């Protein structure tokens, strides 16, 4: 049966910009990057959780639009202190969808923002932190 979550795939418009964004803001590291006939791919991992990856996909041929196959609603990142993280990301030019974090159903805090390809991203401070 299922052992773990392998990766989540995000459709991107500019591969270089997307890799740099996830490396600079969230400290992801590039494991591999390559190109098939139809698309450019990159896999990134975070040193604190190397068994989970983000797959970035950019269609090369518009006749084989992989992006139309499905949508990932959002990608969430766990943080220790959401207010500190918000302040740091604002200094990097990130605009959040709300002025302040929202409460999650378990009492934690969450806030959403968009990445460079209009992918919906979320910060989560779990309850008790």
Q: Which residue has the tokens 């090369």?
A: 60
Q: Are 129 and 80 in contact (CB under 8 A)?
A: yes
Same fold, 1-64 and 72-129: yes
Give the pLDDT confidence of 6-55 residue by residue, as tens digits.
Answer: 789 898 989 999 999 999 999 999 999 999 888 899 999 999 999 899 99
- Which CATH number is associated with domain 72-129? 3.10.180.10
Parse the chain into domains and list their residue ranges: 1-64, 72-129
Give the pLDDT confidence of 107-129 residue by residue, as tens digits.
Answer: 889 999 999 988 889 999 988 75
Which residues, at least 6 apart from 80, have a Cβ–Cβ distance to it below 8 Å? Answer: 125, 129
Class of domain 1-64: alpha beta
Instruction: Tell me the C-alpha distance between 16 and 127, whole Å.
Output: 35
């Amino acid at each position: 049966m299922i052992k773990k979550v392998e990766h989540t795939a995000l459709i991107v418009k500019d591969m270089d910009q997307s890799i740099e964004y996830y490396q600079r803001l969230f400290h992801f590291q590039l494991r591999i990057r390559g190109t098939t006939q139809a698309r450019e791919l990159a896999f990134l991992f975070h040193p604190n959780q190397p068994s989970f990856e983000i797959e970035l996909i950019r269609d090369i041929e518009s006749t084989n639009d992989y992006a139309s196959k499905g949508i990932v609603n959002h990608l969430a990142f766990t943080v220790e202190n959401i207010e500190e993280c918000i302040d740091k990301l604002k200094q990097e030019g990130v605009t959040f969808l709300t002025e302040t974090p929202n409460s999650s159903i378990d009492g934690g805090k969450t806030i959403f923002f968009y990445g460079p390809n209009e992918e919906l991203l979320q910060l989560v401070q779990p309850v008790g932190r």
